[in-house]
A and B are shown apart, each in its own frame.
Chain A
């Protein structure tokens, strides 16, 4: 497995503000990689270093095998970028902007351009100043998808789209991957990440706090188990089991949380009390995200 993006110990400060504090990131070729983190975590800074707009203070970044600061011309022919807050030229139409950006990148794929305009339901004859935020984002998305590239760098590309268009976006990104493309998708919309991403990286305060597939991350995180049992359970006994916590016993109901590796052991013990009903909820990405966020904030403070 080759890497489309490899970032190691990346550092960047703006004045007294540390934006990146030794960030690691690895995006494999052909995957959709979710890039998560609270506001100000350093997601946009990372992407802007990868685009050669900012110069890193330390560490290394490799993009499609090249140096993002020096190999601008060769690298940018192979990638497209969609910012989160798209600014258009007020007196150019959406269609003009799509053509210009795609041509600067190396050429317009007419068939894709036409199909993307149709799928995103975008009117290309309106002037930049009259587009809404969502429509400006569509212009940037169509421009990015109308040229033939290997890598998409997307910085919160759907924050202004309606749910229907978000669905179109997810389809389009999946098709792009099926064609062999790689995507780095920074996002706040966790359901979107959950649905399209093969792997995710969660960063906070300029460092990577977790990377892996969603299954990996779930495994590391705690599952909530609710059971109805025939005989009363000794709460102290359950709490004593490895990996089990938050035990709550009321009458015949037991609720607790358990780490991924210790789920089997817990079920064995509960089984001896005669289980009549059982639910086990793996953490949603949102819980994962909050969980990672909380643990690191307590760890750092």
Chain B
């Protein structure tokens, strides 16, 4: 297991010294490859705090985490000998609005910054930039452009290429598609899907978009008030009880499928996960 949480809790300290429990007794295991996970939950439920533990940006106040064999607990910070940098290279974390963090004069330099920072030679970093710009679906011509004249979606892609260039095993993206128009959002989701399938990396997406969860994820984690309340199949997640309990939205495709099945007394199977699947299943059911 690449990531293993054992009874992990995390308490934020406010200035009034009243603690706030952001994570409570979380147990979790994530594989180094082949997983496509979405992490959902209401705002303030602990999603980002959980993600920040996965690359040791913060350490638990209780419990233990193992990140690629490295043990992390509440004493880790004090032990100066423990090097956390290699972990941060293995688990790439793309923050919300990564485009605000672009700063170099060309796209190429921006992508090269991370890997060089982790000790990659200029030559290798350059090669990585050329490779990764294409993985995120942009033409090589973009490398010589200024990052500041790109659209929102393009900037996001460049910052993701920068993280990928560090060759992480696991890629975590915090609300990567918020603010994008539907076409841009779908294109970016396809990029993540491709990273997952062709590079065989584990991808973890933090999102509020239930359509993303339903269409792409193999596994869903649901956080609620610091507690990991669901860890499993997206198909089983959206039962009536869970929707009410955890304030979820029903994905568009699932809600239409359910409605058509009841209203027209048909069965759409296998359960459609994409718009195209739904159309096909309906055609078959009607013929």
Q: Do A and B come from one complex?
A: no
Q: Please report A residues at the B interface, Cβ cutoff 8 Å.
A: none
